[in-house]
Structure 1
Amino acid sequence: MKALLARFHIDTYLLMLIGTVVLASVLPARGAWAPIAGGAADAGIVLLFFLHGARLSRQAVLDGARNWKLHLAVVAMTFLVFPILGLGIYAIPGIEPELAIGLLFLTLLPSTVQSSIGFTAVAQGNVAAAVCSATFSNLAGIFITPLLVALLITGKHGGVSTDMIVTIAVQLLLPFLAGHFLRPWIGGWVTRQKRLLAFVDKGSILLVVYTAFGAAVVDGLWQRVAPRDLTIVMLICCVLLTLVLVLSYIAARVMKLPREDAIVLQFCGSKKSLASGVPMASVLFATSQVGAILLPVVIFHQIQLMVCAVLAQRYRAAAERARSAAEPATAPAIL
């Protein structure tokens, strides 16, 4: 089964995400279970950001600052080009309002970490630069994404509330800073616990997705979102990813980046983080809105993984062909 999924570039975690959405649609948390599930999801978010803070190496930040040209390009793609495209999408008439907000919210998120680095490695790009760019993007996203949400979304619907600022600080920023300041004592242990980190990363996201979609289902999500709306969102996500991939390719050519750095710009600059998007959405938006707002994020996440997996393999094959062509022919054996 794993071989079959790998052949079609289908991640088992994506299937778990889809299964969680289905479970939340059929058996959402109701009544007394709803606050219990919500409290568990909040605890998962706090633990997630605490561990991310403990994993962040200060040396990686210092090393990454040296390749500032590449990192600025990735930041510009992530927090400038994407939001501009998102505003254009948000202005398209006929999209269900909460899904339109979700599409705009998607464009305000930071880049992924694991998949950006993984695809860069497969494509034989600059892995060290990918680590730094993805780390910078996620660290900046803790501050930039809520600010952009306040300016472009929340500000249009009643302004930025004090409660929202406090919630961001308590659930996201303080746990992250606490983990980072404790890194000298717990960083080594946290880094070695790969299974624990994977469980917390994936488990907390699944829990938040379940509670968010469950609350939205109870509030009538599937009565408001028609199959036509889902089809439109999928098409928009495909067009959005295509545009960003093309623009990042053009930017790399204009900047005359070496091949390895161009790959970093394309993969780190075209990704949007589900791991950051899920907890941020649960903090920044009302519970009844989160499910619909997260739909575009989940859909885009799956599309970007499948497309970039194929793209990375093509880059790898091209690099191997170029390397073979550059190598001198092997001398014939002397008989």
Structure 2
Amino acid sequence: MQPSPSSSSVHNNGENTDIDNNPEKERLEARPAQLSVTEQTAVVQETQAHDTGEISGSTTRRKVYEILKWFIIDQWFLLVFALLILISSQVQVPPNRQHTKRIVISYLAVAIIFFINGCTLSTRILVENYFRWRIHLFVQIQCFLVASAATFAIVSLCAINPDFMDPWLLIGLLFLGTVPTTMSSNVVMTRQAHGNTALTVVQSTLGQFLCPFLTPVLLQMYLSSGAWYTKVLVSDDNYNEIYRRVFKQLGLSLFVPMFVGQSVRNLFPQITETIFIKWKMVKLSSIALLVLIWSTFDQAFGSGAFAEIKTSNIVFLVFMNVAMYFVWLGICFASSIIWLAKKDVIACCYCCPAKALTMLVPLSSVMYVNISPNDQSKLQIPVILFQAFQVAIGGFLTIIFRRWIKPEEDEEKRQKEFEAGQRQSA
């Protein structure tokens, strides 16, 4: 039977209902929007739940976005650092240009870093930190003696089995323990962590100055054991050449740029403050450090040294480097926090466990003759890997150190504002 033309379909609570002529039809047509109290309550609750879900989802997305934005802005250095390692592993500078690239970057990049430090550090604070001899002894003893003794113990254990590790890697570990603290990354990281940058500059320059005198002596002492892995070396004993090359690099890339930067700061204080602080051009030092790190990895991948090392040796070096860094960091932090201010503790924590790759290249090429580029790259692998981890760990430590020192900085800020208010009222 065909439905009546007057029949209609009404949507009620999600279902279609056919209604013929009956008393209920007139009531529904007259009041189509009317719902029972229970139905109205259900609709309201459903709407509120839908709105709450949308708000909650939007809030979660906003929080995730803010966290990602903060991490990218705060840790851009680490992200670019990882990207440069990836690029250097795929594309390298041609071998005939490697030497020129290394010379130009090792001088120019370090010079930029220390010129900016000279422009941004107070001369008075810098001079005051040079006379803090107790901290000098504290840092340099850990950098040269504690670190070298620990690495010699590790190398001696690894050398028990001659088939376990390549001899050049063992010698590279000894170099790692005897070279001084690095200059560039220490200064950049200390500044980012709100530590005593002037103290870091002083400790770095002092370590670089002592390196030509202490590192060869320590290496000869450890290598005189006559172990099987020492037989691959042929000593040159041309220490005059070592001193000439190292001090030439120190003078042109560190002391001269630092002096020029200090001169510019004292002659044009307002201009340097505007350029490096207000315009944030101080970040150029971080960019210069990234270029320096890229150059190191580019040479290592270009020489094919990583391809010739057993995977088990690389894995061992990775875990050993991380362990050594945290052990040296823990010793430094535990022994410095009891007698140093927080800013000084941060500076020491970046100086003591860090090592300078830039000092290994001239020392290894001058101290020992007839080292092929491939063997020299293998000798540098322990320090290259250590540098990668010290930069990565140091970058994350900037977050921890900034939070640790923030209450003290806030108190200093309030004190300065209070003193400024007192002077204005007077």
* TM-score over 0.5 (shorter chain): yes
Q: Is the 8 A contact 1:46 1:171 kept in 2?
A: no
- Residues 139, 182 of structure 1: CA spacing in aligned structure 2 closer, same or farther, 3 A cutoff? same
Supply the AA of the counterpart residue of 1:37.
R
CA distance in 1 between partners of 2:239 and 2:285 (Å): 27
Where do 5+ consecutive residues of structure 1 fail to align? 329-335
Match of 1:257 among 340, 363, 383: 340
Which of 160, 176, 180 in structure 2 is aligned with 1:106?
A: 176
**Match of residue 172, structure 1, among 232, 246, 262:** 246
Is 1:83–1:108's contact at 8 Å kept on the other side of the alignment?
Answer: yes
CA 1:290–1:190: 2 relative to 1, 3 Å: farther
* Partner Cα distance (1:234, 1:265) in 2: 24
Give the CA deviation at 1:240.
Answer: 0.3
Aligned residue for 2:141? 76
Q: Once the two structures are superposed, what CA deviation does each residue of 1:37-69 show, in whole Å capped at 9, x if it has no partner?
A: 354256437745994899597988753332111
Is contact 1:5-1:11 (8 Å) kept?
no
Distance 1:72 1:174, change over 3 A: same
Please tell me whether Structure 1 or Structure 2 has the larger radius of gyration of its CA atoms. 2
Q: Return the structure number with greater relative CO, CA threshold 8 A, min gap 6.
A: 1
**Structure 2: how far apart are the matches of 1:184 and 1:273?**
19
AA of the residue aligned to 1:129: L
Report what 1:331 is aligned to. none
Question: 1:16/1:280 Cα in 2 relative to 1: closer, same or farther (>3 Å)?
Answer: farther
Matched, 1:125 2:195: yes
Q: Pairwise mapping of residues 146-165 of structure 1 onto structure 2 (< 5 A)?
A: 146-153=216-223, 156-157=230-231, 160-162=235-237, 164-165=238-239
Residues 18 and 72 of structure 1: is their aligned pair in 2 closer, same or farther, counting only changes over 3 Å? farther
1:3-82 alignment runs, 5 A limit: 4=72, 7=75, 10-24=78-92, 29=94, 34=95, 36-37=96-97, 39-41=99-101, 43-44=103-104, 47=107, 51=111, 62-82=127-147
| RMSD (CA atoms) | 4.3
Tell me by how many angstroms 1:269 deviates: 0.9
Determine if the alignment matches structure 1 residue 276 to structure 2 residue 359.
Answer: yes
SS in 1 for 2:157: coil
Q: Structure 2, unaligned stretches of length 5 or more? A: 1-67, 159-163, 266-271, 273-280, 416-426
Cα-to-partner distance string for 1:288-310 (whole Å, 9 max, x where unaligned): 21221222222212222222333
Identity rate, percent: 19
Please say if 1:91 is aligned against 2:156.
Answer: yes
- Normalised by the length of structure 1, the TM-score is 0.73
Number of residue-to-residue matches in the alignment: 314
TM-score normalised per structure 2: 0.59
What is the identity, as a one-letter code, of the residue corresponding to 2:357? Answer: L
2:375 equivalent in structure 1: 289
